[in-house]
């Protein structure tokens, strides 16, 4: 059953990587395959009584019997399937021996959402999933509820393996722009993220014909794959790549993930006004694309990023077997998005983009308290200052706590967080799992000053 998936480190990934490398090399382009040690996870079989189910990563082999509604809890995925994560750990906290999810959306046969018994998105906390979590189609729910006693049997594969990140170069000069996607996926995964792979393939064709320099990368391990099993489980392949491979000569990363329909949603860090350069496609600003994508890794290393996504509209088919190729209608949007990215790459290669970085620096200046602004002195190198700001003065955070449903991850400056808590909001800062509210205003103000000092030190290097 798990052949639908292309998990990091799997035989399915190796087959896909070979095909992509052949495609790039057939066009005479320098191509490199970068091996990455990953944790491979896959489902072998999943049953609840006589109903076929879908195991949720990263649960292990499990045999559980219990009473439905007492030992074995049952829950909707809700309209936002990411709520499964919160439902799972809170159910374990209540003493559940297993959790059965049914889909809120009709016509969904299978869905996969990574679960964790520990309410954490920290990079320092190891995730745990000893209690089985499975998903059933909505159509089977009534039949299951007739059975008071249930037996859940799950067999999964979980092992350290080797994934592959692919890197290809176009043009005859050192590129300033990095374009990325990821090729691992859960289930059919057309929008997330075969679409991104197809856009990059089209981009390679267009950029090489025009001899425009760019570095294009397809990551392994975006959905899952960290061998340390960090609770910040996604964007692992890009995290390794951005720390080891990307250098300071890259002025912009364009991250393509779930972009499949107009208006394409955009999220930008480190520059402002870039969405107007896309030109050929209709876009709308939707600032939730950094934290959920490989852009989180790139921004953490000080790389300004433009994310093209449709995260707000993909939820009905997110990580499901219904996320299929829609037919030839997809080809037109693939071409439009690819041509729009070409326009962005050309703009950066011409070098006249200083105003985009300056606009970002000025925005941070305007939204910061006076005692913070004093550190943001005038500069001739807005590019360098912008990179230092996103690396040291931003944080991924959710409004509220991990117990709240329907939260979204945002990339915020510490000035944003300070203004928010002074207006009565509460935030949970990822990586460290720190909750802050108005009572922490002095702490955030001091943290902001410290982070700005790090920005200044970074800029002066």
User: Residue 2 — pLDDT band, cuts 50, 70, 90?
Assistant: very low
Angle at 206 between CA 201 and CA 209, to 5 degrees: 125
Q: How far apart, in Å, are the Cα atoms of 364 and each of 208, 373, 399?
A: 37, 9, 20
- What is the pLDDT averaged over residues 162-191? 96
Non-local (6+) Cβ contacts of 434 within 8 A are: 428
Of 325, 323, 292, 324, the residue nearest 307 (C-alpha) = 292
Give yes or no for residue 91 having a pLDDT over 70.
Answer: yes
Q: How many helices (H) and strands (E) does the chain have?
A: 12, 18
What are the residues whose beta carbons fall under 8 Å from the beta carbon of 378, sequence distance 6 or more? none
Which is more confident, 275 or 254?
Answer: 254
Residue 298: both structure tokens together: 């790139």
Three-state SS sequence of 345-387: HHHHHHCCCHHHHHHHHHHHHHCCCHHHHCCCCCCCCHHHHHH
Written as six digits, the tokens of 203 are 């981009």
What would the pLDDT profile of 441-458 be if each residue is shown by its tens digit? 999 999 999 999 999 999
Residue 175: CB atoms within 10 Å: 22
pLDDT higher than threshold 90 for residue 115:
yes
Query: 298 with 268: CB under 8 angstroms?
Result: no
Q: Which fold has domain 44-158?
A: Glucose Oxidase; domain 1 (3.50.30)
* Omega within 30 of 0 (cis) for the link into 193: yes
Nearest-angstrom CA–CA distance, 357 and 271: 5
| pLDDT of 407 above 60 | yes
- Can you tell me the mean pLDDT for 67-82? 95
Q: In the prediction, which pLDDT does 4 show?
A: 86
Residue 189 has a pLDDT of 96
Are the C-beta atoms of 183 and 13 separated by less than 8 Å?
Answer: yes
Sign of CA dihedral 102, 107, 109, 112: negative
- Mapping DSSP to helix (H, G, I), strand (E, B) and coil, where does residue 325 land? coil
- Predicted pLDDT of residue 3: 57
The chain-wide mean pLDDT, for the chain, equals: 94
How confident is the model at residue 275, as a pLDDT?
Answer: 87
pLDDT at 1: 41
pLDDT in tens, 331-372: 999 999 999 999 999 999 888 899 999 999 999 999 998 888
**228-262 pLDDT tens trace:** 999 999 999 999 999 887 766 899 999 999 999 99
Written as six digits, the tokens of 231 are 């609770």
405 pLDDT exceeds 60?
yes
For helices 441-460 and 382-392, angle between their N-to-C axes, nearest 10 degrees: 140
CA atoms within 13 A on the CB side of 297: 25
Long-range contacts of 271-276 (CB under 8 A, 24+ apart): 271/304, 271/306, 271/353, 271/356, 271/357, 271/359, 271/360, 271/386, 272/356, 272/359, 272/360, 272/363, 273/355, 273/356, 273/359, 274/306, 274/344, 274/356, 275/306
Q: Within the chain, which residue ranges are assigned CATH 3.50.30.30?
A: 44-158
Q: What is the pLDDT of residue 352?
A: 81
* 3 state SS of 17: helix
For the ranges 276-285, 309-318, 338-347, which has the lowest average pLDDT?
A: 276-285
- Rounded Cα distance between 32 and 418, Å, is 44
The token pair at 446 is 């001091």
Lowest mean pLDDT among 73-77, 187-191, 274-278, 391-395: 274-278
CATH number for the domain running over 2-41+160-353: 3.40.630.10
CATH 3.40.630.10 location in the chain: 2-41+160-353
Confidence of residue 373 (pLDDT cuts 50, 70, 90): confident
Average pLDDT for 315-333 = 94
Of the candidates 240, 278, 293, 281, which has an alpha carbon nearest to the alpha carbon of residue 410? 293
pLDDT for res 179: 98
């Amino acid at each position: 059953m798990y052949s639908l998936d292309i998990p990091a480190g799997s035989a399915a990934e190796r087959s896909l990587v070979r095909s992509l490398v052949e495609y790039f090399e057939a066009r005479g382009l320098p191509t490199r395959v970068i091996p990455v040690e990953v944790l491979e996870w896959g489902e072998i079989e999943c049953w609840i009584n006589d109903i076929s189910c879908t195991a949720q990563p990263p649960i292990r082999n499990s045999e559980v019997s219990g009473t439905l509604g007492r030992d074995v809890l049952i829950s909707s995925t809700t309209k936002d399937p990411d709520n499964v994560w919160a439902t799972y750990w809170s159910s374990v906290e209540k003493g559940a021996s297993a959790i059965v999810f049914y889909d809120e959306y009709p016509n969904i046969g299978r869905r996969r959402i990574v679960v964790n018994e520990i309410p954490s998105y920290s990079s320092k906390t190891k995730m745990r999933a000893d209690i089985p979590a499975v998903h059933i189609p909505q159509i089977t729910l009534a039949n299951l509820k007739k059975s008071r006693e249930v037996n859940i049997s799950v067999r999964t594969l979980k092992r350290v393996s080797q994934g592959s990140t692919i890197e290809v170069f176009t043009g005859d000069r050192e590129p300033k722009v990095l374009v990325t996607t990821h090729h691992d996926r859960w289930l059919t995964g057309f929008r997330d993220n075969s679409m991104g792979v197809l856009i990059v393939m089209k981009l390679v064709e267009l950029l090489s014909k025009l001899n425009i320099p760019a570095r294009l990368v397809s990551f392994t391990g975006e959905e899952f794959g960290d061998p340390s099993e960090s609770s910040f489980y996604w964007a692992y392949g890009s995290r390794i790549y951005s720390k080891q491979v990307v250098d300071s000569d890259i002025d912009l990363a364009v991250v393509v993930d779930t972009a499949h329909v107009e208006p394409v949603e955009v999220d930008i860090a480190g520059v402002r006004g870039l969405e107007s350069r896309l030109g050929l496609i209709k876009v709308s600003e939707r600032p939730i694309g950094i934290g959920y994508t490989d852009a989180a890794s790139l921004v953490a290393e000080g790389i300004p990023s433009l994310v093209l996504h449709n995260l707000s509209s993909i939820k009905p088919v997110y990580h499901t077997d219904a996320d299929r190729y829609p037919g030839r209608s997809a080809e037109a949007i693939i071409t439009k998005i690819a041509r729009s990215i070409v326009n962005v790459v050309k703009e950066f290669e011409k070098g006249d983009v200083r105003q985009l970085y300056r606009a970002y620096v000025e925005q941070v200046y305007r939204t910061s308290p006076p005692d913070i602004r004093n550190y943001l002195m005038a500069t001739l190198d807005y590019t360098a200052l912008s990179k230092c700001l996103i690396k040291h003065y931003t944080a991924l955070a959710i409004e509220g706590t991990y117990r709240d449903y329907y939260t979204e991850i945002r990339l915020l400056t510490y000035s944003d967080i300070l203004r928010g808590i002074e207006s009565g909001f509460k935030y949970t800062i990822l990586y460290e799992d720190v909750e802050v509210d108005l009572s922490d205003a002095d702490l955030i103000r001091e943290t902001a000053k410290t982070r700005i000092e790090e920005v200044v030190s970074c800029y002066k290097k």
